[in-house]
Amino acid sequence: MTTMSVEGAPSADVAGQIRDAIQTGRYAPHQRLIESDISAEFGVSRAAVRTALLTLTGEGLVERMPNKGARVRSVTLDEAVEIAEVRMGLEALCARKAAEVATDDDIAKLRRLRADMVAAAESGNHLTYSELKSAVHQRVQQISRHSTAVALLERLRAQSARHQFRLALHPGRGVDSVHEHAAIIDAVVARDPEAAESAMRLHLAGVLEVLRTLD
């Protein structure tokens, strides 16, 4: 059963709104999360906020402080590296599975996504490109139909969102990234599981290499 707030909004929706605020940087690391303020901001009950914060604590996005309430948990660079290492295994699995089970409709959508991504990169539309490269990962995961891996990856993605912004700003990373994402799509479209797994591992190895150079 889904828990409802007094105003009728599911507590899962409240958690989603707070999660988005953390991932986009609107709620900063170590920022206190005051139930009354969040309740007023989103127009929901404090009970729904409290339930949402407990959910996000379980996801590793929020931490509870004795006698001080909740705050946004700061993910260290070392943790971000570990997350990327785990993502490599899970996303490589999803890429392999996607290449094995992709339908004609899946492939058509991937081809359109590839064209849009390359066009955004070539035109210098960095915001759109950033959104589309994230969509590549999400689409490959959806195609894989591997629900356990996808659920774990969603949690890891949420925890490492702040470091993803820093990666995007790293010199030269955009050029490397577009070729790497295109290679992942090409391998899935070719229905080549080994190539898809290899392309995903190569991409995330690049992510790891940059993460390890950040301050």
pLDDT at position 175: 59
Across the chain, where does the E strand assignment appear? 32-33, 62-65, 69-72
More confident residue, 19 or 93: 93
Residues 6 or more apart in contact with residue 63 via CB below 8 angstroms: 57, 70, 71, 72, 73
The mean pLDDT value of the chain amounts to: 87
Give me 208's structure tokens. 């790891």
pLDDT confidence bin for 92, thresholds 50/70/90: very high
Residue type, 2: T
Q: Is position 3 within any domain?
A: no
pLDDT at position 126: 83
The answer on 47 and 86 residing in a single domain is no
Question: Does the pLDDT at position 169 exceed 50?
Answer: yes
CATH number at residue 185: 1.20.120.530
The pLDDT tens digits of the residues spanning 145-167 come to 999 999 999 888 877 766 665 56
CB count in 10 Å sphere of residue 4: 17
The answer on 165 and 125 residing in a single domain is yes
The pLDDT tens digits of the residues spanning 21-77 come to 888 778 988 899 999 999 999 999 999 999 999 999 988 889 998 888 999 998 888
More confident residue, 170 or 29: 29
pLDDT at position 8: 47
The answer on 106 and 55 residing in a single domain is no
The answer on 56 and 117 residing in a single domain is no
Q: What are phi and psi of 153, to 5 degrees?
A: -65, -35
DSSP for residue 76:
P
Give me 37's structure tokens. 């303020």
Q: Which of 45, 72, 99 is the last residue of a domain?
A: 72
Range of the domain at 99: 77-211
Task: Count structural domains, the chain.
Answer: 2
